[in-house]
Amino acid sequence: MHAALLDEAHRAIENKLPERGHDYRLGYHLSPPAGWMNDPNGLVFFRGEYHMFYQHHPYSAQWGPMHWGHAKSRDLVHWEHLPIALAPSEPYDRDGCFSGSAVVADDTLYLIYTGHQWLGETRNDDQIRQVQCLASSADGITFTKHGVVLQTPGDPSIMHWRDPKVWMRDGQWWMALGARQGDDPQLLLYRSADLHHWEYLSCALQGRREQDGYMWECPDIFELDGCDVFLYSPQGLKPTGYDNWNLYQNSYRTGRLDDSGHFNPSGELHELDHGHDFYAAQTLLAPDGRRLLWAWMDMWESPMPSQAQHWCGALSLPRELSRDGDRLRMQPARELVALRQSQTLLQVDEVASASHVLDVQGALLEFELELDLEGSSAERFGLALRCSEDGQERTLLYFDATARRLVLDRQYSGAGVSGVRSVPIAPGQTRIALRVFLDRSSIEVFVDEGAYTLSSRIYPRPDSLLASAFAVNGTGCFGAMSVWRLADLQI
C-alpha cells in the first residue's frame, strides 16, 4: 500500500509541473518541484552525499497530509530531487508523517518520524494522537516502514508530542521530543540501544506558558565548541520590544546536558534569526566536523503568492554555526562561493541625502560591503534592492542612526508582504559588515560575520531588478562593494 501511495504522489507532482509558475521560482534555494513544503527533516550524510528530507504535500500548494519529500547533494549547492520517501499509509500515520530526523547505522539509513492521527471527524488540535515511528532504507531511496517504536505517553495531559531528533551519545541513541503538557511546553528525552526499543530518560527541561510559550516544536540538541545547545521552535511567545514579532519563533539556549538527561541552561533565550520567514531549523554534523543548519524560509499564516503558481515553500541557505559566548553565529556555508558567476566591484563612497543607482541589476545576486558609521551623518543610509523602475517596489536594508539598528524593510517588497524587522548595533561600533543573498523571492542578510541574520521572503515583479545606495537627512558612507551574479540552478 505504501508503494502505491508513493506512486500516486509522484504522479500528482508530474501532473502539476507543466502548470508551475516561475515568477517567484527560486534559483539556488531548495524548494519542492510542485506542491507544498515546510519543515526540513532528516538531515543526514549517507554514502558520500547530503540527504535533505522535508515536510511535503504533493497534491496541492496548501498544507495537507504530510509526506516526506527528498533531495540529495554532493556539494550543498547542486541538489537532485529524489522520489518521495514517506507517505501516510498506515493507521498510525494515516493523517501525516510529521517531522523527525535521520541517522545512519550499519550502513543503513533510518528515518524516525511522528505519525499523526486526527481522532475526531474534523481537524481539531485537541483531538489528536501522535506516535514515534521508524523506517529504513538500504539504498537511501526506497524506505520500508517498521511501525511504531514509541507510544504516546501515559499522561493524558500530553497530546502534542512530536518531532523526534535522534543522535548518538556515548554509544547509545538519544531522542529529543517536543511536548505540550496542558498549556506548558516540555523537552522530553529517551534512549535506545537499537533504534527500535526506547526507554524514557527524563523531562530535560520544563517550561511555563507565561514566559516560554505553549509548545516547543522541532527540538535539536547538539554540542558546539564545548557547550551544549538546545535549539527549538517555541509557539506562543509574546512580542517584547523588537523581539518575537513573527507568529512563531526559532530560538535557542546554551547550557549543559548531563548524563541523566537534564538540560541545565547557562545562557538566556535568543532568537536565532531576526527576519520575517524562518522556522523549524535543524542541524547536521558534517563529515568535516562543521555544524550545518537549515530552516523553513516561510512563516505560518504569512502571504504565500507562489501558491497560485502551484508550489509553495523553500529552505534557507545552509549555514555554518559557531559559538560566541552564549550566542550563536551563522555564516553561509563555504561551499556557496561556487554559486558566484561574474563579479562587479563598485566604489560608492558617499551618498548625500539622495539615491545612487548601482551599476548592477538582477534577481540572483550576492552583495558584500561595509557601512561606515563613523564617517556618516545620515539619519538612515543603506541599500534599496529589487527596485522597480517606477519606484513602486523596493526592499530596503539600512542603518537607522537614531535607533542604532540595522533595518530590513519590506513594506514595498511586492505581492502580499509587509513588515519591518531589525537587529541592534552596539554603541561605539563604527562599521557594519554585510553579506546579502538575493533570490527571486527571498533575501538573506548576514551581519558582522553572522552575529545576526535576517531572512525574509519577498515577491517583487520579475522586472524589478534595480539596486541603489541611498541616504536620508545627511551623508552615508559606504566601503568598497563587491557584487556577484549567482547561478540560476532552478532547484
Task: Give me the domains of the chain, ranges plus CATH numbers.
Answer: 2-334 (2.115.10.20), 340-486 (2.60.120.560)
Q: Which residues are catalytic?
A: 39
Q: Minimal CA–CA distance to 231: which of 293, 170, 171?
A: 293
> What's the pLDDT score for residue 457?
98
- Please enumerate in sequence order all residues whose Cβ is within 8 A of that of 334, keeping only pairs 6 or more positions apart, or say none: 320
- Please enumerate in sequence order all residues whose Cβ is within 8 A of that of 401, keeping only pairs 6 or more positions apart, or say none: 373, 376, 378, 379, 380
Asked whether the whole model's pTM tops 0.95, one would answer yes
Please report, in tens digits, the pLDDT of each residue of the chain (491 residues total): 899 999 999 999 999 999 999 999 999 999 999 999 999 999 999 999 999 999 999 999 999 999 999 999 999 999 999 999 999 999 999 999 999 999 999 999 999 999 999 988 778 888 899 999 999 999 999 999 999 999 988 787 888 999 999 999 999 999 999 999 999 999 999 999 999 999 999 999 999 999 999 999 999 999 999 999 999 999 999 999 999 999 999 999 999 999 999 999 998 999 999 999 999 999 999 999 999 999 999 999 999 999 999 999 999 999 999 999 999 999 999 999 999 999 999 999 999 988 999 999 999 999 999 999 999 999 999 999 999 999 899 999 999 999 999 999 999 999 999 999 999 999 999 999 999 999 999 999 999 999 999 999 999 999 999 999 999 999 999 998 999 999 999 88
Helical residues (DSSP H) of 119-260, grouped into ranges: 209-212
Alpha carbon distance 268, 352 (integer Å): 41
- Which cell goes with 53? 528530507
Neighbours of 485 (CB within 10 A): 18
Region label for 451, one of left (φ > 0), alpha (ψ between -120 and 50) or beta (otherwise): alpha
Q: Minimal CA–CA distance to 67: which of 56, 59, 77, 76?
A: 56
Helix, strand, or coil (residue 178):
strand
> What's the pLDDT score for residue 229?
98
Q: What is the DSSP letter of 96?
A: B
How many helices, marked H, and strands, marked E, lie in the chain? Answer: 2, 36
